[in-house]
Amino acid sequence: MPYTVPKLDDFSPAALDAAGRDLLAAVRQEAEAVSGENDYKNFRDRWMARKNGVLTQINDLWLKAAPGPAKRDVGARVNQLKTEVEQIVEKRRLWVLAPTITAEHPGIEIPAQDWERYIKDAQLLGQKIDITLPGIRRPMGAEHPVIRTMNEVIGVFRAMGYSVAEGPEVETDYFNFEALNFPPNHPARDTQDTLFVAGQEKKAQRDRLLLRTHTSPVQIRAMLDTPPPIRVVAPGKVHRADTADATHSPVFHQVEGLAVDTNITFSDLKGTLDHAMKSLFGSSMKTRFFPSFFPFTEPSADVSITCFKCGGKGCRLCKMSGWIELLGCGMVDPNVFKFVESNGYDSQKISGFAFGMGVERITMLKYGIDDIQLFYQGDVRFLEQFA
């Protein structure tokens, strides 16, 4: 038997409750039965039509018929019922329309259980929603592998009492070269293909700007800031005029280190770096110091660690040597101290060591990444692997 709006004689709250319950039960039951679009229209008109719809009828038969004292209560109840019926009808509309919308937008696939959610949202918001808009999904971010390695390296040195310093990426010739004992026009400058800022010719050479080719200028800045003793690491971005390929990038990252105190010796350098490499790559790693040259250190060394692919036996990765070259280091050249003498760096009284490493290179070796460009392409499929 289809629902018909009863006339009310009793306007007590209990009687109104019961009448409201019956009405809602009826609209819900009828909503369930609605299947096609025509069906829906009949259903909507039966309940909502201005002329003779059920909602109009309760207005007439309940509200208008209510005796004076009950009007207020009945009015509130009728309004509440109207809202609920409207929501139930709207929910059915979305439900019936779902297949049509999906057909009109072949790209979207909305599983049945999600429709329920869309409809609920629409109800909660009291509005219709454009279900063709993409939903809100915020994937978790993750530290970039280069930054992660950088933080790991910094962490190892912080644990040994080092502080962290930074310097500018646009640097002067003076800090990038001259104060690091690369004299003007010295061929050692050619080892670092430099990107210069244009239009600087009028300035004295030492004041000309360039993109720093290494983090070593932070050594000078740190010593000007802080008198000895000093222990500092300086992470940061550096630039070289290199053509990009699998192992080169014009922008990359380094971590620099500097320790200056009385009686710092080469064995302190060896012990510190050996400990750092074991912390970063595992305690079975061995380090090897091989004579090298840098203008700002004397003596200088390149540090290699045991090849982690073959454990030192010799393989393609280490070019059959059993060793992988990882960083440069050395004892701070007395000529460098001359540039910071005014802040207490007297090479007769103090000594120090310095080191610098490429963060991308370490990361590539650590994770077996064979192309440096992967770090900069922002391909989420690559980055996700480090999440």
222-261 residues in contact with ligand DAH (CB under 6 A) are 256
Look at the block and give the residue holding tokens 């970039």: 144
Nearer to ligand DAH, 171 or 256 (CB): 256
Instruction: Give me the torsion for CA of 185, 188, 193, 197, rounded to 10°.
Output: -40
Helix H segments across the chain? 13-33, 37-48, 54-58, 71-104, 112-125, 145-158, 173-176, 217-225, 266-281, 334-338, 359-367, 380-383
Query: 3-class SS at 86?
Result: helix
What are the angstrom distances between the C-alpha of 211 and each of 44, 198, 268, 367? 71, 11, 32, 29
Size of the residue set binding ligand DAH (CB under 6 A): 11
Give least dist CB 364 to ligand DAH, A.
17
Pattern 309-338, binding to ligand DAH, x per CB under 6 A?
Answer: -------------------xxx--------
- Say how far apart CA 167 and CA 309 lie, in whole Å: 35
AA letter at 338: K
- Are the C-beta atoms of 328 and 303 separated by less than 8 Å? yes
- Say how far apart CA 340 and CA 364 lie, in whole Å: 36
Nearer to ligand DAH, 97 or 224 (CB): 224
Give least dist CB 138 to ligand DAH, A.
39
Nearer to ligand DAH, 167 or 330 (CB): 330
**E strands present in 182-229:** 209-211
Give least dist CB 272 to ligand DAH, A.
12
Nearer to ligand DAH, 26 or 259 (CB): 259
The single residue among 355, 361, 363, 364 that binds ligand DAH, judged by CB under 6 A, is: 355
The single residue among 297, 304, 306, 351 that binds ligand DAH, judged by CB under 6 A, is: 297
The single residue among 354, 359, 362, 372 that binds ligand DAH, judged by CB under 6 A, is: 354
Alpha carbons within 13 angstroms on the beta-carbon side of residue 307 total 16
The single residue among 214, 221, 239, 253 that binds ligand DAH, judged by CB under 6 A, is: 214
For residue 155, what are the contacts with CB-CB under 8 A and spacing of at least 6?
none
Nearer to ligand DAH, 145 or 328 (CB): 328
Scanning 59-67, 72-80, 111-119, 354-362 for contacts with ligand DAH by CB under 6 A, the matching segment is: 354-362
User: How far is C-alpha 66 from the chain's CA centre?
Assistant: 64
Q: Is residue 167 part of the contact set for ligand DAH (CB under 6 A)?
A: no
Nearer to ligand DAH, 30 or 360 (CB): 360
- Say how far apart CA 336 and CA 316 lie, in whole Å: 39
Look at the block and give the residue holding tokens 């096609």: 36
Give least dist CB 297 to ligand DAH, A.
4
Q: Is residue 216 part of the contact set for ligand DAH (CB under 6 A)?
A: yes
Q: What is the 3-state secondary structure (H, E, C) of 305-336?
A: EECCCCCCCCCCCCCCCCEEEEEEEEEECHHH
Q: Is residue 295 part of the contact set for ligand DAH (CB under 6 A)?
A: no
Nearer to ligand DAH, 55 or 255 (CB): 255
- Say how far apart CA 316 and CA 324 lie, in whole Å: 11
Nearer to ligand DAH, 297 or 306 (CB): 297
The conformation of residue 196, written as its DSSP 8-state character, comes to: B
Give least dist CB 179 to ligand DAH, A.
13
The single residue among 40, 294, 323, 345 that binds ligand DAH, judged by CB under 6 A, is: 294
Instruction: Give the CB-nearest residue to ligand DAH.
Output: 356
Q: Catalog residues that contact ligand DAH under the rule CB under 6 A.
A: 214, 216, 256, 294, 297, 328-330, 354-356
